Amino acid sequence: MRRLAVALLAALLALGGCAVLPSSGAETSPETEAAFVAFARGLAERHDFEAERIERLLREDSRLQQDIIDAISSPAEALPWYRYRPIFLQPARIEEGVAFWREHAGTLAAVERRFGVPPEIVVAIIGVETRYGRHRGRHRVLDALRTLAFDYPPRADFFRRELEAYFLLAREEGFDPREPRGSYAGAMGIPQFISSSYREYAVDFNDNGRRDLWSEPADAIGSVGNYLGRHGWQADAPIAVRGDVTGSDWQALQRDGLRPQDTIAALRAAGVTPRRRLPDGDAAARLLVLEGQRGDEHWVTLENFYVITRYNHSPLYAMAVLQLSREIREGYR
């Protein structure tokens, strides 16, 4: 394993000076330099990389990008629902989703058989993430993870773990870590998996011997299904329904966490009436209040809604996926 790691990174670094990127215009601080060294040594100790080469990748082959910090500091998920929804619920995105489903109907059906996740949910996630693979991000993943791991204190620990996973992923899958591009948060490929998710949940769904989320839609589709299935997707179970509220007791059931902590019966007792029939009263449920254009929208969300938030920890994201999936399903039928 050590010889493999050394050979791969040596080959990457031997590609020449053209791989060295210009400075972002800011001097690397002594603290950041020390952090590079500590990170590289830890990677070498835990996973048999050569520390010096990891340091060079960080110091010379990647750079701090301020626009990445700006983007993660102002995510779209901070918008109110009535402004977030139109980003994704557009006629063109719906039509493209229908076309994507038709093109990959066989793969999507196989994913549903294996993981229980319906085609419209898989298609909607890929539609929200990359518009069916068309927009996969403009930042080099190495730059994004280097920037957030060492120059974004609020989540530095998380992104250092992702950077470590990224180097491991590059070694396992045999790609040059300087080349892939993705989102400002380092998400990659058609389904926008972060490094740790790629390593854990990506699957070779077309059985050709590799897990390729960049250029093989079958692997991307299968990996989304596997991700949701592994996080507890319940086949044929409801996701969320609109509700009506009366009185004021329901206000006490607005929870901070995303996981359902109440039951349908408890919501009903507090004055929340689902507009559609739901399972028995003991089923776990959560009251979600969204800021709509004409006032608050009240939703009863269930376990499958929570599973979607494991992909992106935002109720706005999950609701956009749900509503886009319904539009795509209607168009497909």
Q: pLDDT tens, 43-102?
A: 999 999 999 999 999 999 999 999 999 999 988 888 999 999 999 999 999 999 999 999
Query: Tens place of pLDDT for every residue, the chain, 333 residues?
Result: 333 333 444 334 333 333 333 334 455 788 999 999 999 999 999 999 999 999 999 999 999 999 999 999 988 888 999 999 999 999 999 999 999 999 999 999 999 999 999 999 999 999 999 999 999 999 999 999 999 999 999 999 999 999 999 999 999 999 999 999 999 999 999 999 999 999 999 999 999 999 999 999 999 999 999 999 999 999 999 999 999 999 999 999 998 889 999 999 999 999 999 999 998 889 999 999 999 999 999 999 999 999 999 999 999 999 999 999 999 999 998
Active-site residue set: 129
Task: Kindly list the structural domains of the chain, giving each domain's residue range(s) and its CATH number in brackets, ordered by start.
Answer: 2-71+137-201 (1.10.8.350)
Q: Residue 188: how many CB atoms within 10 A of its CB?
A: 25
75 backbone dihedrals φ, ψ, rounded to 5°:
-70, 155
Is the backbone of residue 99 left (phi > 0), alpha (psi -120 to 50) or beta? alpha
Q: Give the residue among 202, 198, 193 at the shortest CA–CA distance from 223.
A: 202
pLDDT in tens, 54-63: 999 999 999 9
Q: Residue 107: how many CB atoms within 10 A of its CB?
A: 20
User: Please, are residues 121 and 332 in contact by the beta-carbon 8 Å criterion?
Assistant: no
Q: How many CA atoms lie within 13 A of 59 on its CB side?
A: 18
